[in-house]
A and B are shown apart, each in its own frame.
Chain A
Amino acid sequence: MSADAGLVEGARRTGPRPSTSAAPLLSVSDLGIAFGPRRGFGGVRVTEGVSFDIARGERVGLVGESGCGKTVTGLALMRLLPPSARIDGQVKLDGEDLLKASASRMRRMRGAKIAMIFQEPMTALDPVFTIGEQIGEALRIHKTVSKAEERERVIEALAEVGIPAPARRAQEYPHQLSGGMRQRAMIAMALVCRPELIIADEPTTALDVTIQAQIMDLLARLSEDTGTALLFITHDLGVVAETCTRMITMYAGQVVEDAPVDEALMRPRHPYTSGLLRSLPQLNRGLGEDGRRQFAFIPGRVPSPMAMPAGCRFRDRCGFAEAGCERPQVLTDVGPDRRARCRRTEELTLPGAVD
């Protein structure tokens, strides 16, 4: 098994890589999200100018730390933000602008074309309905199916995500399932109508590492088998390295780097991506001058969205900041399929996951 597992692992990463000329499945441009009043005090801009594409069948990791805007970006794509949110820009799925779609049109799209998996399956599942009823609901809303057919499809979906005894499990309530099983049920629900894009927001953060490995393998395999594109929202660069083909790094509400995952890991082109990689405990083997273990970290803290600096948002924490960085930075092409938001990116050689 082990030798074959290695091959599968290798294959997983070379997954569908559609030609760049084909129109992307999802195209986000200049997405800006703000909360609070339009004018005057109290309004907070949480993301600004977020732009990226996802190709059909592609698996993209959207990474960043708490407060960087990755989760609100995911919710904006689903149009699940509260009415107090002000959203501008464009989110085109298959050419249709989701931000302009009517509420009823959006309801038809959610589940059928674009679906979401949340971090905490216990709060995302309804405790008073069985797992089967909840998965079946997605089917009933989008497709005309008979009772018998619905039951059959639900059991199929549960089997597909590796739930043992799916016919029995379909009749159980969420509290009767373990955390890992609930997350599998969530995935079954997201997949049952075969959407073209699944947004998974920290789908394994609440799970133990051995269960996390099972769920990540499952998501990657299903995406490969069904051609569903995945947007993984996570803080875990290890998960992205093992599952995704591309990595988009966000910092303080902006995309700062967008690159094929291996290239981002080997040779990051933004100081923040580099600093984040060097801070990971797996790679943190530095010794101080007295021979003691010394952990790398990024000094300082993320600026508050209420007091966002005008120029580069990372510059107060950046070891490479200099005059000129106080001007706004633009996300520019820095190579084939790569973009970075740093005016010094061409002259810097930044350390990545390996020396």
Chain B
Amino acid sequence: MTLAPSPADLQQPVVRVEGLRILFPSLDGSDTVKAVDGVDFEIRPAETFGIIGESGSGKSTIGRALVGLLDATEGVVELDGRTLNAIPRRERRKARQSYQIVFQDPHAALNPRMTLMESLTEPLRIRGGVSEDEMRRKAQESMERVGLRAEMLGRYPHELSGGQKQRANIARLLPLNPRLIVCDEVVAALDVSIRGEVLNLFADLQRDFGIAYAFIAHDIAVVAQVSDRIAVTYLGRFMEVGPAEAVTERPMHPYTTALLSAEPRPLPAHLREARRIDLKGEIPSPVDPPSGCRFRTRCPWAQERCKAEVPEWRELRPDHYVACHFASPDGIQAPMAAAAGD
């Protein structure tokens, strides 16, 4: 059953994004919201690529662009070597089939008037060329694969718990043999005690079918646990990309460091690192991001240089990239700005 990737597959990424910019007009049309403002990355076959960031960082917009739900204003989104924008609209639906998305709210993602059988067979019905019997058989297989009993196929979404609904959402995608699934906050709406069960399911499917995931979440702890590599986004740009463990254990960017230290830890007082980096203020508007380094207005290490110069994207450790003038393989090499009045 396991689809061992061939060496050629390993070389060709599932996703290649280059110079991606996605701009929206602001509500009154007078300004431009730079939701995604120049990101480059790859997602390798059977890899989990985590994307973290605060609201407004552009992480969900990136996810939507990966599956063609949003068009790139500039730049390239390449899926298995094919540029999404270059595919004529009529053929795009077909081209997109192998690249799917699961959303945060499992309740909203299922049609309340459709039984699970109808919801699960719908993707194949749209694709066409499959007999009714075949569709039903595939739906049953998918249900079992995600740990739901096949007799639940006759039920409506309101008869399911949140965790079951999220399983059903995953089951819908399996008959399409996806190469990539964008997971946008897929466990955020679930209770803590059942999150692990759903995350284990994602891991099993990846192992069995070689699916790559773009795992988008605001919860650093979850992303750290599921990802192979992590990208840290801020105001439409990547601040740091690297192996999950390196990014979370030895971050090089001040923003990553601050995010990690802000995460409340469920540990008794004597086991918690007391040090917390307090970020001043809030994420600035993506209409008019700060000059130079976008994070500088909240960065405790910011210097004059950060205002004038956009930091270069540098590989400071193997496969570990960072955009900060003062980052080094050993962490941040700059004096912390005086925290007067704090």
User: Can you name the residue of chain A whose Cβ is closest to the Cβ of B262?
Assistant: A213
Question: CA of A298 to CA of B194 in the docked complex: distance in angstroms?
Answer: 6
Contacts of A208 in B (CB 8 A): 54-55, 218, 282-283
Query: Judging by beta carbons under 8 Å apart, are B192 and A279 in contact?
Result: yes
Partner of B275, one of A2, A281, A292: A2
B113 touches A (CB below 8 Å): no
- Is B221 a contact of A295 with CB atoms below 8 Å? no
With known contacts A209-B259, A210-B279, A238–B265 Cβ distance under 8 A: yes
B207 at the interface (CB under 8 A from A): yes
Interface band, chain B:
35 or more
Residue of B nearest to A209 (CB): B262
A210 touches B193 (CB 8 A): no
Residues of B within 8 A of A242 (CB): 264-265, 272
How close is A215's CB to chain B, nearest CB, in angstroms?
A: 11
Q: Which residues of B contact A301 (CB under 8 A)?
A: 161, 163, 194
The 0/1 profile, CB within 8 Å of B marked 1, for residues 274-297 of chain A is: 011101111111000000111111
Residues of A within 8 Å of B274, CB to CB, are 5-7, 9-10
Are B269 and A295 in touch, CB under 8 angstroms?
Answer: no
- For residue B203, CB closer than 8 A to chain A, the reply is yes
Closest to A164 in B: B281
Within the complex, the shortest CB–CB distance from A235 to chain B, in Å, comes to 7
Selected contact of B195 from candidates A2, A9, A297, CB within 8 Å: A297
Kindly identify which residue among B218, B268, B279, B336 contacts A265, using a CB–CB cutoff of 8 Å: B268
Contacts A281-B225, A292-B203; is A241 near B272 (CB within 8 Å)?
yes
A13 to B278, CA, bound (A): 18
In the assembled complex, A25 has its CB within 8 A of some CB on chain B:
no
Contact A282 B262 (CB under 8 A): no
Q: Are A238 and B264 CB-contacts (below 8 A) given A282-B221, A295-B225?
A: yes
Q: Which of B258-310 contact A (CB under 8 A)?
A: 258-259, 262-272, 274-279, 282-283, 298
Is the CB of B219 closer than 8 A to any CB of chain A? yes
Instruction: Write the nearest CB–CB distance from B2 to chain A, whole angstroms.
Output: 12
Q: List 25 A-B contacts (CB under 8 A).
A: A6-B274, A6-B275, A9-B272, A9-B274, A65-B192, A208-B54, A208-B282, A209-B54, A212-B264, A213-B276, A213-B279, A235-B191, A241-B264, A241-B266, A241-B267, A262-B268, A279-B193, A281-B195, A281-B224, A283-B266, A292-B203, A293-B226, A298-B194, A301-B194, A353-B271
Chain B interfacial positions (CB closer than 8 Å to A): 54-55, 161, 163, 191-197, 199-200, 203, 207, 218-222, 224-226, 258-259, 262-272, 274-279, 282-283, 298, 336, 339, 342
Chain A interfacial positions (CB closer than 8 Å to B): 1-2, 5-7, 9-10, 13, 65-66, 178, 180-181, 208-214, 216-217, 235-242, 261-262, 265-266, 275-277, 279-285, 292-299, 301, 353-354
